[in-house]
Structure 1
Amino acid sequence: MRITQLRNATIVLHIGNRHILVDPMLAPRGALPPLRLLDGKRERNPTVPLPEVAGAVLQQVTHCLITHCQKGHFDHLDTFGKKWLRDTQTPVICTPHDAAYLRQRGLNVQPLGDDHAHGVPLWEGNVQTVHCTHGEGVVGRFMEHGVGYYITQPGEPSLYLLGDTILTPAVAGFVQQHQPDYCVAPAGGARFDVGGDIIMGVDDVLELTRLAQGTVIANHLQAISHCPVTREDLLAAARATGVAQRLWVPQDGETMACDVRDGVAA
């Protein structure tokens, strides 16, 4: 397995001869509206362009996987991503909850089965969904919470894509029980003008890394205007707490090779 970080939560999983695009936000820099209105900046999104390798990586894509997409969450599926998926008719794997929404937009939808508590077949292996908590309190009531995916395939490392979530007891317990070789976690500490964090920030990522025996991959960084955490912030905190050797904080365009045996980068 290899994992390519494109931008924000958009990654590509290279698993054998399959190349799975996750949560495509493909807009040019500044093409989408701001997510904070009272900060004096009103910075448009995304705040950075796609990396130069994006075109070549997208040409490899065979499938797409969506964690959440309704209620205006354009940083996981924007109009440019929808057009790309519609034009290419790439098979889009999603939950039954999102299937009708995506079909209405002309996408080639392949919803997973319904038994998510125990996992459902995916290719030669299995996928299990894990509920996300995309913020709590008043803000949380307006969010589309979505799911994370725990993916196991024969001969490949186990992978938990957390989706957009804070570190809840349910997420922490799932990691402790299953101990994935790799966890891909949202690390930007996103928040709106009011309310608390709606995804993990530095403290949550460090705690996740302490709980996990494998490698944590931090993304959702430095691409969206309501995510204040920087890569430098996170790496400095990881070094200070002694977990940096099990935390990968990729730059946009970087690819990581993943080892099935011990969850250490090849």
Structure 2
Amino acid sequence: MKITQIRNATIIVEYANKKILIDPMLAEKGTYPPFSDTVRQHLYNPLVSLPISIDDILDGIDAVILTHLHLDHFDDMAKEVLPKDIKMFVQNEADSKEIKASGFNNVEILHQDTVFEGIHLVKTKGEHGRGEKAVKALGEVCGIVFRHPSEKVLYVAGDTVWYEAIEGVIHTHRPEIIVLNGGDNQIFELGSLIMGKEDIFNVHKASPFAKIIAVHMEAINHWTLSREELRNYSKEHGFSNNILIPEDGESYTL
């Protein structure tokens, strides 16, 4: 297994000889306005450039997984440059209809027993914020568990905070590698939308032998948790050996 952090939630997972692109946001730096009711209203998104070219990102991609369709997970540039016949996995019928309306013609809805080229893909739940108001405002999201006899179990949690369903996924599937969207991105009215440092620590406590990879950091205007702060927190709380916090463009073979 090889996992490459591209930018924000955009990662490439090389798993059982397949190369899967997750949540592609591919626009140039500063293309989109800042998310409203958030910090850094003077900065346009993305805050940073892609670490490699779009051609290099798309080279050899076998499939794309979209955990949901927010702009910072699937943007206009991704719609433009992805081949319309590429295999696309989405979380539900509403997202499938929207993706098909954008011209993609090989779209499949993830379930508990989806299989792609021998890789078992299990759709998992998530809550994109804390409390009913935030979850309703941000909409449905998902994560994915990857399984294959030749690979470690991988859990990509998606845009979620820590709550009981995440603990349930960990106890059910016992992932050895867990990718978390950190950054503690916030909207003033709604609070935290994705995991902060305490959430990440809770994941570690639930799965103390797993290796955590923290992504979705410092790329969109409403982040509030930096890589440096998370590194310091992990040292202070004794799990720095269990967490990887990649820079954009960095890869891990696991």
Tell me which interval the TM-score lies in, with the shorter structure as reference length. Answer: over 0.9
Partners of 2:106 and 2:76 in 1: how far apart? 16
TM-fit CA distance, 1:243: 0.4
* TM-score, length-scaled by structure 2: 0.93
Name the aligned partner's letter for residue 205 of structure 2: R
Q: Does 1:173 align with 2:168?
A: yes
Which aligned pairs between 1:57-72 and structure 2 lie closer than 5 A?
A: 57-69=57-69
2:155 corresponding residue in structure 1: 160
For residue 137 of structure 2, the aligned residue among 139, 142, 145 is 142
Where structure 2 has 5 or more consecutive residues not aligned to the other structure, the ranges are: none
How many corresponding residue pairs?
A: 251
Provide Cα deviations, 1:211-231, integer angstroms capped at 9, x if missing partner.
112111100100001111110
Cα distance in 2 for partners of 1:127, 1:60 equals 20
**What SS does the corresponding residue of 1:142 show, helix, strand or coil?**
helix
Q: How far does residue 130 in structure 1 lie from its aligned partner after superposition?
A: 1.0
Is 1:131 the counterpart of 2:128? The answer is no
1:27-42, aligned counterparts within 5 Å?
Answer: 27-37=27-37, 39=39, 41-42=41-42
Over 3 Å counting, the alpha-carbon distance change for 1:255 and 1:113 in structure 2 is closer
Partners of 1:36 and 1:225 within 8 A in 2:
no
Q: What amino acid is aligned across from residue 74 of structure 2 in structure 1?
A: L
One-letter amino acid matched to 2:245: V
Residues 1:15 and 1:125: Cα distance change in structure 2 (over 3 Å): closer
1:100 — aligned with what? Answer: 97
Compute the displacement of 1:54 (Å): 5.3
Could you tell me how far 1:40 is from its partner in structure 2?
A: 6.2
Report the AA paired with residue 128 of structure 1. Answer: V
Residue of structure 1 equivalent to 2:81? 84
* 1:244 and 2:213 correspond: no
Q: In structure 1, what is the equivalent of residue 108 of structure 2?
A: 111
What SS class does the counterpart of residue 174 from structure 1 fall into?
helix
Cα displacement (A) at 1:77:
0.2
**Could you tell which deviates more after superposition, 142-151 or 2-11?**
142-151
**Identity between Structure 1 and Structure 2 (%):** 29
Q: How does 1:252-263 map to 2 (within 5 A)?
A: 252-258=248-254
Asked if structure 2 preserves the Cα contact closer than 8 Å seen for 1:65 and 1:92, the reply is yes
Change (3 A) 1:106 1:234: same
Q: Which runs of 5+ in 1 are unaligned?
A: 259-266
Residue identity matched to 1:229: L
Contact 1:99 1:111 in 2 (8 A): yes
